[in-house]
């Protein structure tokens, strides 16, 4: 995967544009989405092992093997993949799940967990996704489909069953067997989906998607849904947690924005 990233990354004469052929955007995005826990760390820039790859492009620790890649190359390749809204959605869904998994790891009745530095890092990663999305939308070369259409397609593929918990049919009844604490992501997707179902117009769907693509809305809905599903939900400091994540959003957006700004001209 590291070799794929470096091969697709722009060269010195290419500025910041990673030109990824349309036929491989979705399969590469699907493959990269499997590394969500590692790309989260690479973009978050807290652990040097992830952003200083050795010649093999990975490292091994007590938890197993991890992808290591240039942060700049990764963000630029993710931007190139995101010309396809389905590819962006695949990456986005994987990050949303990872964020929810981090929340699920918080022990019951944990105190002051919202002060952990990993939440600011999570905000930084969400901010990077915002910068990538905005760069796609603002790119004047995007003449194959409208801004609204891109947003609507992203929304469709994020909501389209990807975050629905697994079910089991037993005795004529459909029972949920997925992780109940996945409810954080489900809440965000459910709100988004309900609004889009009532709209058939692409432009209207694009406007709805714009609202729910906002990192602050994603964060708020995910944390609220997660907190409600916890046995100690009433004692979780959701406002403090949200504030910590929000503080990281601008950092991640600004950093990714620099990697995506072409200064060669």
The phi, psi pair for 145, rounded to 5°, reads -150, 160
- With respect to residue 39, please indicate whether it lies within any of the assigned structural domains: yes
199: tokens are 């709209």
Residue at 265 is within a domain: no
Residue 133, in any domain of the structure:
yes
3-state SS assignment for residue 169? strand
Residue 194 class from Cβ within 10 Å (0-12 exposed, 13-18 middle, 19+ buried)?
exposed
Rounded Cα distance, 239 and 237, in Å: 6
Backbone angles phi, psi at 65, to 5 degrees: -95, 145
35 lies in some domain:
yes
Are 9 and 260 a contacting pair, CB within 8 Å?
A: no
* Total number of domains in the chain: 1
Q: Which residues are CB-contacts of 203 (< 8 A; sequence separation ≥ 6)?
A: 146, 148
pLDDT, residue 8, reads: 94
Examine residue 119 and state whether it is found in any structural domain, yes or no. Answer: yes
Query: What is the reported pLDDT for 171?
Result: 44
Q: Which residues pair with 168 in a beta bridge?
A: 175
Range of the domain at 87: 2-260
pLDDT digit of tens for each residue in the chain (265 aa)? 999 999 999 987 778 888 899 999 999 999 999 999 999 999 997 678 887 766 678 988 888 889 999 999 999 999 999 999 999 999 998 999 899 999 989 888 788 888 888 999 999 999 999 999 989 888 755 554 567 778 878 877 776 544 444 443 444 444 343 444 456 677 666 666 666 665 556 666 677 677 777 889 889 988 988 888 888 766 778 899 999 999 999 999 999 999 998 755 5
Q: Residue 196 falls within a domain, yes or no?
A: yes
Task: Read off the tokens for 99.
Answer: 């964020």
Q: What is the pTM of this model?
A: 0.82
**Residue 67 near residue 42, CB atoms below 8 Å:** yes
Asked if 122 contacts 44 with a C-beta cutoff of 8 angstroms, the reply is yes
């Amino acid at each position: 995967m590291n070799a794929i990233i470096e091969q697709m990354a722009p060269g010195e004469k290419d500025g910041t544009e990673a030109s990824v052929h349309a036929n491989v955007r979705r399969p590469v995005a699907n493959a990269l989405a499997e590394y969500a826990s590692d790309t989260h760390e690479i973009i978050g820039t807290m652990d040097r092992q992830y952003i200083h790859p050795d010649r093999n492009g990975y490292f091994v620790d007590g938890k197993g093997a991890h992808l290591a890649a240039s942060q700049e190359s990764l963000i630029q390749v993710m931007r190139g993949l995101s010309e396809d809204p389905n590819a962006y959605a695949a990456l986005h869904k994987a990050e949303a799940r990872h964020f929810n998994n981090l929340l699920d790891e918080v022990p019951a009745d944990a105190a002051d967990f919202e002060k952990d530095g990993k939440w600011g890092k999570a905000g930084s990663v969400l901010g990077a996704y915002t910068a990538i999305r905005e760069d796609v939308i603002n790119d004047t070369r995007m003449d194959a489909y409208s801004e609204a259409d891109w947003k609507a397609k992203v929304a469709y593929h994020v909501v389209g069953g990807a975050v629905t918990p697994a079910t089991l049919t037993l005795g004529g009844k459909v029972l949920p067997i997925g992780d109940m604490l996945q409810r954080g992501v489900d809440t965000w997707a459910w709100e988004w989906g309900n609004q889009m179902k009532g709209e058939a117009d692409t432009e209207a769907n694009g406007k709805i998607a714009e609202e729910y693509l906002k990192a602050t809305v994603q964060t708020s809905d995910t944390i609220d849904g997660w907190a409600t599903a916890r046995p100690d939900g009433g004692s979780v400091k959701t406002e403090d947690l949200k504030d910590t994540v929000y503080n990281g959003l601008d950092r991640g957006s600004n950093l990714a924005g620099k990697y995506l700004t072409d200064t060669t001209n």
